[in-house]
A and B are shown apart, each in its own frame.
Chain A
Amino acid sequence: MTRFSQPSRGSRGAVAEGRLVVLPGGGHRDDPVARSQIAVGLLLAAMTMVFAALVSAYLVRMDLSDWRAAPLPPVLWVNTALLVAASAALEAALRPARAGDTRRLSTLLWVAGLATAAFIVGQLAAWFQMRAMGYGVAATPGASFFYLLTLVHGVHVLGGLVPWVRLLARLRSGREPEEPGGRARARDRNGDDGPAGVVPALRLCAVYWHFLLGVWIVLYLLMLLT
C-alpha cells in the first residue's frame, strides 16, 4: 500500500471507492450579521482604548500640584437624561421591529434620533455655560478636560447618527442593502428579522448607544467626583 500524502491537521476523511478522500472541513458560512457584530465589537474595543487613555490621562493630571477642578454646568443632568432616553428608545424599538410594527418602530427611531441630536445641542450649550461662568478651555486643567472629554465623546455620538440615518432609509425603502460586489446574501432571513431585516442592525445601533451612554456616565461621574 502506498501512502500518497498524510492527511493534514483538522481534516476529515471519507472512504469512497477504495480511496480515502479527505473532505474540506471547517469552512466558513459567510454571515453578514456575524460580520457586523464582529466589526462593531472591534470598533467598541478601539473606542474603549480611546476613553481609557483619556481617563488615565485625567487621573494622572489630577495628581499634579496645580490641579483645580471646574464647576460643571447643570444642563449636563438634562443631557444625561436625553442620552438615557435615546438609548432606551432604541432598546424599546427592538420589540416592534421583531413584531413587524413599522409605525411604532419608526416613531421610536425618531425619538432616539431626536433625543441624540438634543444631547449634542445640550453639550454645546454646556460649553457656552462654562465659558459664561468664566471657565474657558485653558482656565483650569479640570476645565480643559471638560472640553476635551465632551468633544471626543460628542463626536462619537454624532457618528452614531450615520447608521441611524441608514436604518431610517432602509425602513423607508423597505429593502435590505445589497451585498458588495453583487454577491447574493449568503444568509437566509430569519422570521423575526423584522421589516427589511432591520433587527440585527437595530440591535447593533442599540449596543453602540448603550456603550456611549455607559462611557458618558463614567466620564460625568469622574468629573463630578473629582
Chain B
Amino acid sequence: MAYPTLNMLSYWTYLLSVILLLAGYFVPGGPSGGSWVLYPPQSITAGTPGSGLGITLLLASIAVFVVSATMGGLNYITTVLQMRTRGMTLMRMPLTVWGVFISAVVALLSFPPLFVAGVMLLFDHLLGTSFFIPTVNVLGTVLPHEGGSPLLFQHLFWFFGHPEVYVVILPAMGIISDVMATHARKPIFGYKAMIVSMAAIGVISFTVWAHHMFASGMNPFFGYIFAATTLVVAIPSAMKTYNWLLTLWKGSIRFTTPMLFTIGFVSTFVIGGLTGLFLGNVAVDLPLHDTYFVVGHFHLVMGVSAILAMFAGIYHWFPKVTGRMMNETLGKIHFFVTFLGAYLVFFPMLLMGFQGIPRRYFSFDLVAFAPSGLDAVNAMVTVAALAVGAAQLVFVANIVWSAVRGREADANPWQANTLEWQTPQIRPGHGNWGPKLPEVYRWPYDYSVPGAARDFIPQNEPEVAVVSPATGPEPEGAGR
C-alpha cells in the first residue's frame, strides 16, 4: 500500500466505528429502531426504540466510519495509481482491481454527504437545533423543534445511499469477471467495455439519488429527470451482462464451486436489475414503492448478488490464503441451497408486491385485499430463509475443516494468470514477492491462446514469438 500506516489507522478507526455501533445493544433503550435509513423525525423522536443513546452511538459510528473509509479510499486510489509493478499498465490490470479502484473513488466522493447528514442529525438530537425536524406534536406535547426539513435529510442520505450500492457491487463485478474468465478458460469478453461500463456506472450513480424519493411528493419534473438518469444505468449494466454471457459462450467451463457462484451472480443480477427498471419509472414506482416488490428487487440485485460474488471470491482465493482447497461437495451443497433458496425467498416477494402486499407491516390481519394464499407463501419464504441460513453453517464448517484438513493446494490450482497465483511461496509471506518484484508482460486474460503450449499464460511470463529471418516479426499479431 502507498501508506501502510494510514491503512492501519483506517482499520482501527473502522473497528472503533463497529464497536460504537454494537455498543448500542448494551445501553439503556437499546440500539436505534430508526431502520437503516434513519429518517428524521422518527429516528430521534421519543417512542422509537433507541431514540436516546442508541441513535447517538449509531450516528457517531457513521461519522467515524466515514473518516475510516476516506483514509482507506485515499490509500487504495493512490496505490493503484502509483505503486503498480513494472509493466502493469492500467489497461493490464485485472478487473477486480479496476472494480476496487472505481469503487474507492465513488466512496470517497459519496460518503462525505452522509457524514454531514449524520453530524447535522446529531446536532438536532443533542443540541436541539432544527435542521431536519419540523414542528412535531407528540400526543399533545409540542417538541421544541420547528421548521426543519425531513426531506433535506433524505436528499443528503440518498446522495450517499445510491452511490453506496455501487460501492458494494463494483468490486463484486470485478471479482465475477476474473473468476469467470479463469474458470471458463477464456479471455474476458470486452475488457475495455467492462472498464468503461464500471466507470460509467460510477459517474451515473451520482445523478440518480432522488429515485428513492419518488413517493415523497417531489415536483413531477424532477421525477422525470431522475427517472431518465436511473434508466440510463441499464445501459452499462447490460453491457456487463452481455460481456459475461459472451465470456461463457463456447468457453471450456469448469463447473467448480466459485464458477457456480459466479453464474449464480449473473442470474440474480439480471433478475434484480430488470426489476429495477420497473422501479426507475415514476409512474410504476408509486404503486410499487411501499410493497414487497422493492424488498425483492433490492435483495436480489444488491444483497444476494453481492453475497454470491463474495462467496465466489472466497472459494476462488481460499487456496491462496490457506494453501488448502475447500471441499467441493460441501461447496456445491452450499451453492445450490443458497442460490435456489434465495430465489424462493425473494422471487415470491416480487409477485406479492404486484398484488400490492405492503412492506414493513407487522401483521396482515387487517389488510383486506391480501389474497388468501398469502400466509402460505409467507410461510414458504420463511422455511426457505431458514434453509438458506442453515446452508451457511455448511459453509462455515467447510472453511474451518478445509483450513485445517483440506487437500493441499498447489501454487496455482485454478491455472490462473493473475499475479497473486505466481508468487514464489504458496502462502505468500509478508510483502508477497520478497526482494524482487514481478514484471508484467501481458493482460491477465491470456487463456486458451491459439498455438500456446498451455491454456493459460501468466501475466509475468515474458512474451516471446519466433521470428522468421526472411519476413521479420509477424505483423497481424500486433495491435490487438
Contacts and interface: CB of A to CB of B under 8 A. Distances in A.
Q: A and B: partners?
A: yes
Nearest to B135: A66
B463 A57 contact: no
B92 A4 contact: no
Contacts of B5: 180
Interface in B425-480: 431, 439-443, 446, 449-452, 457, 462-469, 471-474, 477-478, 480
B449 A6 contact: yes
Contacts of A66: 130, 146-147
B451 A39 contact: no
Interface stretch (A14-22, A87-95, A190-198): A14-22
B131 to A, nearest CB: 6
B441 A11 contact: yes
Contact of B78 (A35, A45, A53, A57): A35
Given A20-B464, A26-B89, A57-B131, A3 B82 contact: no
Interface centre among B112, B144, B452 (most CB of A within 10 A): B112
Interface stretch (B94-102, B121-129, B167-175, B347-355): B121-129
B4 A3 contact: no
B49 interface: no
Contacts of B109: 45-46, 49
B80 to A, nearest CB: 10
B179 to A, nearest CB: 21
Contacts of A26: 87-89, 92
Nearest to B472: A15
B463 A50 contact: no
A144 B129 contact: yes
Given A34-B82, A50-B115, A5 B2 contact: no
A85 B396 CA distance: 60
B74 interface: yes
A57 B152 contact: yes
Contact of B112 (A25, A50, A138, A147): A50
A10 B452 contact: no
A21 to B, nearest CB: 6
A2 interface: yes
B86 A42 contact: no
A223 B156 CA distance: 21
B288 to A, nearest CB: 28
A1 B471 contact: yes
B46 interface: no
Contacts, number: 207
A21 B464 contact: yes
Contact of B152 (A47, A60, A148): A60
A153 to B, nearest CB: 12
Contacts of B82: 28, 30-31, 34-35, 38
Nearest to B70: A46
A18 B442 CA distance: 21
A225 interface: no
Contact of A22 (B117, B123, B441, B443): B441
Contact of B480 (A7, A20, A27, A141): A7
A144 B468 contact: no
Contact of B446 (A8, A20, A38): A8
A9 B443 contact: yes
A18 B116 contact: no
A18 to B, nearest CB: 5
B123 A144 contact: yes
Contacts of B131: 57, 61, 141, 144, 148
Contacts of A38: 77-78, 81-82
13 contacts: A1-B466, A3-B450, A5-B464, A6-B480, A20-B466, A20-B473, A22-B463, A26-B87, A30-B82, A39-B74, A47-B112, A50-B113, A53-B117
Given A11-B442, A38-B81, A43-B74, 10 more contacts: A5-B451, A7-B480, A8-B441, A15-B472, A27-B85, A28-B85, A46-B108, A50-B115, A53-B156, A66-B146
**Shortest beta-carbon contacts, A-B, top 4:** A24-B87, A66-B147, A27-B86, A22-B463
